Amino acid sequence: MAILKILEFPDPKLRRKALPVEVIDKNLQARIDDMFETMYAAPGIGLAATQVDFHKRLLVTDVSNEKNDPHVLINPEILSREGETTSKEGCLSVPGYLDEVTRAEEISVSYLDRNGANKEQEVSGLLAICIQHEIDHLNGKLFIDYLSEAKRQKIRKIIQKQRQNPSPSSPVY
């Protein structure tokens, strides 16, 4: 397994729309394992393949405190959305920044699991938020796209400043 490089805003590769996964083989399984290792090391609760410069419709999540409830969603599609919830979100591709985003409170999602089995699941709470966030990545969208242009410009300046003067105590979400 390997820790992969996570692309950071404003990298244009984050805007590429991911293509469907056609084959689930040992190479994809290795990529999934690398994505989990990368996500846990970051540390994060979700990671889309787009974020690690692999432009296929694949995401991993684990929102448990114990990091013992991993989920793999291949070719995920949201079938329905219900309710609305607003929460603070962060992103491994936009390190050190949190802001309020409104998303569906509950979703129904179809996907293939890591073995290629068709699944359909209703999820709510943090897992629903995380899956929506990661599917946005697969569609070339970032959580900051829900914010005003002024806030996005502020984030761009913060990230440029962090790159020029890295601080070991800067949080990464």
134 tagged catalytic: yes
CA atoms within 13 A on the CB side of 55: 10
Tell me which of 22, 122, 134, 149 is the catalytic residue. 134
Contact 22, 57 (CB under 8 A): no
DSSP state string for 82-140: ES-EEEEEEETTEEEEEEEEEE-SEEEEEEE-TTS-EEEEEEEHHHHHHHHHHHHHHTT
Rounded-to-integer distance, Cα 120 and Cα 111, Å: 6
Cβ-in-10-Å burial (0-12, 13-18, 19+) of 22 comes to exposed
Active site residues: 134
